[in-house]
């Protein structure tokens, strides 16, 4: 019997939003949910206990980066990802498909797969659908992703069509190579912002009967309204009874807009990367702590946040840490930002359970000064 299961608890009366419960071999995740990114086997700056304290239940790691360093075989010999960095909850590994887009200058793609020149030392890494499955099997994540081709937002129609059909062929090869029933393999829908191609991609993947489906190839340069429009015609094609994952997104407003269009799972480096650079997301909008106006500010970063950064320290002190180059500053802001994202998802879930998803959106955008 499968250790994976997804059930809907409620659907929003005002939108396409859903609240669900997703069971995995390493625990249950209530959706909608945001996964902090631990690309190389660590959410930068935080211990596993600190991640748990944010409310996060599941994290993401990356096939490409871990295959390069320390190597998938090394991770397997050290007990797999869960033991490797002492995380007891669910883990998802991206397949390396996004690196085909982000490291295009360091890669060469054929029908067989892709060959990367390592960004570390220039050594080759060959990644085929079959190899992507083997690496992720060695890493031991609960959820693994098919290898896909992610075209840039400004790619011509013909190039996006080629990427869609190659992604479908690679998905079939991944499905064939996938061996471990303890790992759920997700298919990835591509197609840019072109409705006919998104539908073509989704409909070609549905016969492969994946336990979950991801929407890839967004937040790669297209304007946010185009991303939202794309979700509006993509999610209705995906199975209602399976989780839907929007890859690499995004800003807090993007999470809300995505959930209201039927997305259940998200990941993005934004809360951690921005935190390391002095930008905090708060209930009243973004705060750039390096600004001089915070020099003597005795107030908390966010009075509505339960994290250590907000409960124990002033904005003035947090700013000092960044200006002095102290590592505690990035750690505390990373902790805060991930806590903020988890709180946002929990509050949004409660709004969905109450049938007030659209009301929640309007209220939050007004607080953040976003147009809606």
CB 65 within 8 A of CB 40: yes
| Phi then psi dihedrals of residue 189, to 5 deg | -85, 125
| Phi then psi dihedrals of residue 25, to 5 deg | -60, -20
Report the distance separating Cα 322 and Cα 315, nearest Å.
Answer: 11
State the DSSP string of 133-190: HHHHHHHT-SEEE-------TT--HHHHHHHHHHHHHHHHHHHHH---TTSEEEEEE-
Q: Which helix (H) or strand (E) holds 250?
A: none
CB 26 within 8 A of CB 91: yes
Burial of 295 (0-12, 13-18, 19+ CB in 10 A): exposed
How far is Cα of residue 31 from the mean position of the Cα atoms in its chain? 13
Q: Could you tell me which of 220, 268, 266 has the C-alpha nearest to residue 243?
A: 266
Q: Which residue do the tokens 């033991």 mark?
A: 83
Handedness of CA 225, 229, 234, 240 (dihedral sign): positive
CB 31 within 8 A of CB 20: yes
- Catalytically active residues are 94, 267
Q: Could you tell me which of 261, 251, 197 has the C-alpha nearest to residue 224?
A: 251
CB 278 within 8 A of CB 286: no
């Amino acid at each position: 019997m499968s250790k994976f299961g997804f059930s809907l608890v409620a659907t929003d009366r005002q939108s396409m939003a859903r609240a669900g419960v997703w069971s995995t071999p390493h625990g249950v995740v209530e959706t909608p949910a945001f996964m902090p990114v631990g690309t190389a086997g660590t959410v930068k700056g935080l211990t596993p206990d600190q991640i748990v304290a944010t409310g996060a239940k599941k994290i993401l790691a990356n096939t490409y980066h871990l295959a390069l360093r320390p190597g998938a075989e090394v991770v397997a010999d050290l007990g797999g990802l869960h033991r490797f960095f002492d995380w007891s909850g669910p883990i998802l590994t991206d397949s390396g498909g996004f690196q085909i887009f982000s490291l295009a200058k360091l890669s060469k793609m054929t029908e067989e797969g892709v060959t990367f020149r390592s960004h570390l030392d220039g050594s080759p890494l060959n990644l085929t659908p079959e190899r992507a499955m083997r690496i992720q099997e060695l890493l031991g994540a609960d959820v693994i992703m098919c290898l896909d081709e992610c075209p840039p937002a400004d790619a011509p129609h013909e190039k996006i069509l080629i990427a869609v059909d190659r992604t479908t062929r690679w998905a079939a090869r991944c499905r064939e190579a996938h061996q471990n029933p303890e790992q759920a393999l997700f298919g990835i829908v591509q197609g840019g912002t072109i409705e006919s191609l998104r539908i073509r991609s989704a409909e070609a993947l549905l016969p492969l009967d994946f336990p979950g489906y991801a929407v890839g190839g967004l937040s790669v340069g297209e304007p946010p309204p185009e991303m939202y429009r794309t979700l509006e015609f993509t999610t209705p094609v995906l199975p209602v009874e399976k989780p839907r994952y929007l890859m690499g997104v995004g800003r807090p407003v993007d999470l809300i807009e995505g959930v209201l269009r039927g997305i259940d799972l998200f990941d993005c480096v934004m809360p951690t990367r921005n935190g390391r650079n002095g930008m905090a997301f708060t209930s009243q909008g973004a705060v750039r702590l390096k600004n001089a106006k915070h020099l003597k500010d005795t107030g908390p970063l966010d009075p509505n946040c339960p994290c250590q950064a907000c409960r124990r320290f002033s904005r003035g002190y947090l700013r000092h840490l960044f200006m002095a180059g102290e590592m505690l500053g990035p750690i505390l802001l990373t902790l805060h930002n991930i806590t903020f994202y988890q709180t946002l998802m929990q509050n949004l879930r409660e709004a969905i359970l109450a049938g007030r998803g659209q009301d929640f959106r309007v209220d939050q955008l007004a607080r953040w000064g976003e147009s809606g």
